[in-house]
Homo-oligomer: A and B are copies of this chain.
């Protein structure tokens, strides 16, 4: 477990340096005035159903409705004044895009978001609402990457990847810092795994503070690249991921794979029905709006019951951005 970190070494993975607890602590200090300290909620009736004592870190209540604002704010704040002035760019069209747009606006610098022409209007409007410029591209990853490169070439803007970036990972880890600060004696923490940025930051923060806490990632069966990668011992990108948990369709990077490999105690996967069911339970019992991706860890609790029955378990609720006109239980 993270020998390199405890010795203060900084191994290079995919061109990046693995962030340390110190990086997460620095991120927390850097953005204390920008980021909501989100509440940790508990729910007796869910505890009863699941058979654990659950503590939900409500990043759905974070600005822009997702933990992504933490990483984006940390990355934007770490830029030099000269670099910041030229702006930032990304090719995500999800929560990271909104987060980066708001983080840039808060620093008073421009942001560009490269988005496929077939992206939902709601996503486009959200990003524009935060003051970013949307750059159209064809709906392929290659076109998105090319679009982002072109913005960089034309403007000198800094490209900010949604997860393959130590600044982003350190920022995302601040949610777990707050969770451990608010809840004493946690036995385990579960977070969803898409590209692995949130899970990586969570691993570094939690094990940096307390190496005995067990760490679990949770994935949709239909987007189980992290499980496949960990089992194979090498990075196996997901194909076309057909899951309602749209935040988890992306694949690990070399950097996040390395961190997860070092820290995770398990990586349960869940079905689509289990995700929708868990999501509805959270809405009904906890009275909060979460997106499908955020419900994946609760769904995974059934799989983890043999290991975690009766334990104190932290869950990171990653976000709450859903289309209220198309809820999974009204359309199914």
Could you list which residues of chain A lie within 8 angstroms of chain B, going by C-beta atoms?
A: 39, 41, 44, 60-61, 63, 65, 280, 283-284, 286-290, 320-321, 324-325, 327, 329-330
With A63-B44, A330-B330 already in contact, the answer to whether A324 and B287 are too (CB < 8 A) is: no
Tell me whether A330 and B325 are in contact (CB under 8 A).
yes
Tell me whether A320 and B287 are in contact (CB under 8 A).
yes
Query: Complex Cα distance A290/B324, Å?
Result: 13
Tell me whether B324 and A284 are in contact (CB under 8 A).
yes
Tell me whether B320 and A325 are in contact (CB under 8 A).
no
Identical chains in the assembly = 2
Tell me whether A287 and B329 are in contact (CB under 8 A).
no
Tell me whether B41 and A288 are in contact (CB under 8 A).
no
Q: Which residues of B contact A283 (CB under 8 A)?
A: 289, 324
**Beta-carbon nearest neighbor of A129 in chain B:** B45
Tell me whether B284 and A287 are in contact (CB under 8 A).
no
Query: Complex Cα distance A44/B286, Å?
Result: 23
Tell me whether B61 and A287 are in contact (CB under 8 A).
yes
A–B Cβ pairs within 8 angstroms, 27 of them: A39-B39, A39-B41, A41-B61, A44-B63, A60-B287, A61-B287, A61-B288, A65-B287, A280-B324, A283-B289, A283-B324, A284-B324, A287-B288, A287-B289, A287-B290, A287-B320, A287-B321, A288-B288, A288-B289, A289-B289, A324-B327, A324-B329, A325-B329, A325-B330, A327-B327, A327-B330, A330-B330
**Beta-carbon nearest neighbor of A289 in chain B:** B287
Query: Complex Cα distance A283/B330, Å?
Result: 17
Q: Which residues of B contact A325 (CB under 8 A)?
A: 329-330
Question: Smallest Cβ distance from A183 to chain B, in angstroms?
Answer: 15
**Beta-carbon nearest neighbor of A287 in chain B:** B320
Q: Which residues of B contact A289 (CB under 8 A)?
A: 283, 287-289
Q: Which residues of B contact A327 (CB under 8 A)?
A: 324, 327, 330
The 10 closest A-B pairs by CB, nearest first: A287-B320, A39-B39, A287-B289, A60-B287, A288-B288, A65-B287, A61-B287, A283-B289, A330-B330, A283-B324
